[in-house]
Structure 1
Amino acid sequence: MDPTRTAPVPLPVRLASGGPARDAWPLDQKIVHLNHGSFGAVPTEVVRHQDELRRQADLSPVAWFPRAPELVAAARHEVAPFVGARAEHTAFVPNASAAATVVLNALRLEPGDEILVSDHGYGAITMGAHRLARRFGARVRTVSVPLAATADEVVDQFRAELTDAVRLVVVDQITSPTARLLPTARITELAHERGARVLVDGAHAAGLVEDAAAVAGADWWFGNLHKWPCAPRGTALLVTEATDRDDLWPLIDSWGAEERYPERFDRQGTLDTTSYIASPRAIEFIEREYGWARTRETMAALADHGAAVIGAALQPHVDAPVATDVGLPVVSMRLLRLPEGLGRDRRDADELRRRLLDLAGVESAFTSIGGVGYLRLSVHLYTEPRDFDAFVERAVPQILAFADERRRR
């Protein structure tokens, strides 16, 4: 990625229905929204659909809740093919971390067994791996993956760490802190040769990777629908064809506990499952209005343009290249290096995010990798080129002021 503005400026996206994509999401127009990857954004059409489902539940709870599992199952059959899965292998869960917990709760280890994670993993998932290890006297080892590693280099790093003691590998399909792809199918093949099983964190993969669950190659895969597919928040999928999938249980028991996987996940008492039921509408909305393949192409062009605009503004203030090589970038996110002293750890990165929202009205994400801070830029169809200009105008001065404060400490 070249941090100069050489490519044509992308035009704002217009949907098949004729209006600008910006108007199809109920986002605050006073805020610059450049962090879709953290919590997603739900189109107005989908918000209204979910509101209507909730209205039905409130109008007649006794009619709604006994029937809700049927609606969840129907939604499951609709959305499973979107990630290349079959409905009978797919369960709805509240989020990616919940899916990981479901799997980790089902596993049994022996003292001395090992779990492999990477240093690009999502913190909450890695914490779950450590908790599993503590329960059984096992241990967690971390595979170090260079930020710019190629697919072959990543595989070599895992190969070097896969001992006969490894029973489980936990690896990201798309890394959250570093916004890059990892070759999970190849890693799974290696792990299986050594007798280890693989849990793939596809939290960011649905929508960005076609048939994400199918191509992951894992024993278990999970991914959020409330990120790039723009489903209501609290909507994720757990997918597995493992022969022991009946060992997987929802985090809360219900009257469906004696049903098999995945049906036992459809019945969750008085839990608001309207997010699950509404999720097919979100996937269909983007396909109908723009097309998923075209959406990925457009997000890549927007992300490249944004990285060029913001990178050009930051480069004079950064001693290293702002444009960051992540080896295998994803279509919708880019990583840009920050001035010295910013983002030295997660707490510092979070402080910068809060500061820019409060002082500049900019939603953004920052991450820390090896003591170095980065801006993680992420876009969707509602993103417009003017958003990147607004970031330069409103956020870059705050970033530089914050960096100056740090240097004076």
Structure 2
Amino acid sequence: MTETDLTTAPRPLLLADGRPAAEGWSLDPDVRHLNHGSFGAVPVAAQAVQEELREEMERNPVVWFPGLPARMSRVRTDVARFLDVPVGDLALVPNASGGASVVYHNVPFPAGGEIVVTDHGYGAVTMGALRLARRRGGTVRTAHVPLDADEDEAFAAVMSVVGDRTGLVVVDHITSPTARRLPVERIGREARRRGIPLLVDGAHVPGLLENPLRDLECDFWVGNLHKFGCAPRGAAVLVARSALRDGLYPLIDSWGAEDPFPDRFDSQGTLDATGCLAAPAALRFIEDTWGWPAVRTYMRELGDYAEHVVGAAFAGLTGDDRPVDVGMPVDALRLVRLPDGLATTRLEADALRDRVARELGVAAAFTSFDGVGYVRLSTHVYNTAADYEYFAERCVPVLGDWSLDATRV
């Protein structure tokens, strides 16, 4: 990537009728939305489909719920086609953490065994691993993967803590706090060779990576459709690719319990499944309006520009103009280091997120890794260069002042 590429903003995307892409969403126009990666954002078209489904559900619940499994089965077919996986491998779950919980509650984990995680893992998923270990009198071993580790270094770091007692390995496809990939394909091949079950947390992956499971060997993979896929919340997938899938059951026992995997996940009582049912509408909206390849290109080019503009603004304050090296970068997620004293812990990062939203009118993600704070920039089709220019011009100087206040304490 040349300097010219980094400093040239991509042309904003437009809707089919020529309006700005952002008008396809209902996001507050008085807020700069720079954190699509956390909770996503649902297009108006998909919101309308979900609302129609809710109205249908409420008009006649007695007809709706018995017919729900058949609807869920059709959605599974659409989503499996989008992810390019066999429909028989894919179950629908409320979110990626819920899919991980299914694995933790069903995987045959040996008493006294070890679970391997990394220090880049999503907190809730790691907490689930800790609970499983406690239930079985086992332990959790954490692999330290340096932020700038390349593929070889990251692979070696993870496998260095895998041993004879390892009963499960849990790694992120794309890490949430550090916006980088991990070499899940290599880890998967080695775990399969050793006969160790592997759970891959792909929460950010659907829509962001093309054919993410094509070369991936794993027992379980979870991913959210509500992030870069822009589906309503409550739409996620659990992909199971080994014989262990036959032992997977939903966390809610319901009338589909005797059905085979994944059909048994189509019936989970009276859950509001309209988010899942509307997910294909969100995926089609993106595809029909721009096409997913064009969207991924736009997110990457805008990510390049955003990282450059915001990084240069912070460099003007700190004198450190080095970009953050994450080893295996991600197109639509970027890290920019914050000045000293800001977001040095996860709780401080969350508090900074809330303060920036409250006082500066910007929805942004702040993370912490190894005691260093970062702003994690996300891009999607409704974002434009002006969003990140605003952050650089209006927010970075304020964050510099807050840093000085923090370091004086």
Contact 2:7–2:308 (8 Å) recurs in 1? no
Name the structure 2 match of 1:370.
370
Identity of aligned residues (%): 48
Secondary structure (helix, strand or coil) at the match of 1:131 reads helix
Which TM-score applies when normalising by structure 2?
0.96
Name the structure 2 match of 1:131.
131
Change (3 A) 1:2 1:131: farther
Length, aligned pairs only: 409
Name the structure 1 match of 2:140.
140
Name the structure 2 match of 1:73.
73
In 2, distance between residues paired with 1:4 and 1:338? 25
One-letter code aligned to 1:134 = R
1:54 matched to 2:45: no
User: How far apart are 1:183 and its partner, in Å?
Assistant: 1.1
In 2, distance between residues paired with 1:10 and 1:117? 38
Change (3 A) 1:357 1:265: same
Name the structure 2 match of 1:200.
200
After superposition, where does 1:172-321 map in structure 2 within 5 Å? Answer: 172-318=172-318, 320-321=320-321
Name the structure 2 match of 1:93.
93
User: How far apart are 1:215 and its partner, in Å?
Assistant: 3.3
In 2, distance between residues paired with 1:314 and 1:4? 20
Contact 2:234–2:273 (8 Å) recurs in 1? no
Secondary structure (helix, strand or coil) at the match of 2:218 reads coil
User: How far apart are 1:322 and its partner, in Å?
Assistant: 5.2
- 5+ residue gaps, structure 1, are none
In 2, distance between residues paired with 1:293 and 1:73? 27
Contact 1:72–1:277 (8 Å) recurs in 2? yes
Contact 2:109–2:168 (8 Å) recurs in 1? no
User: How far apart are 1:110 and its partner, in Å?
Assistant: 3.0
In 1, distance between residues paired with 2:159 and 2:218? 16
Change (3 A) 1:54 1:386: same
User: How far apart are 1:264 and its partner, in Å?
Assistant: 1.1
One-letter code aligned to 2:156 = D
In 1, distance between residues paired with 2:297 and 2:157? 31
In 1, distance between residues paired with 2:4 and 2:287? 32
Which TM-score applies when normalising by structure 1?
0.96
Contact 1:31–1:361 (8 Å) recurs in 2? yes
Contact 2:83–2:206 (8 Å) recurs in 1? yes
In 1, distance between residues paired with 2:58 and 2:139? 48
- 5+ residue gaps, structure 2, are none
User: How far apart are 1:3 and its partner, in Å?
Assistant: 9.1
What's the Cα RMSD here?
1.6
User: Once structures 1 and 2 are overlaid, which stretch shifts more, 77-86 or 27-36?
Assistant: 77-86
User: How far apart are 1:15 and its partner, in Å?
Assistant: 3.0
Name the structure 2 match of 1:84.
84
User: How far apart are 1:55 and its partner, in Å?
Assistant: 0.9
Contact 2:107–2:248 (8 Å) recurs in 1? no
In 2, distance between residues paired with 1:19 and 1:213? 35
User: How far apart are 1:159 and its partner, in Å?
Assistant: 2.9
In 1, distance between residues paired with 2:214 and 2:2? 33
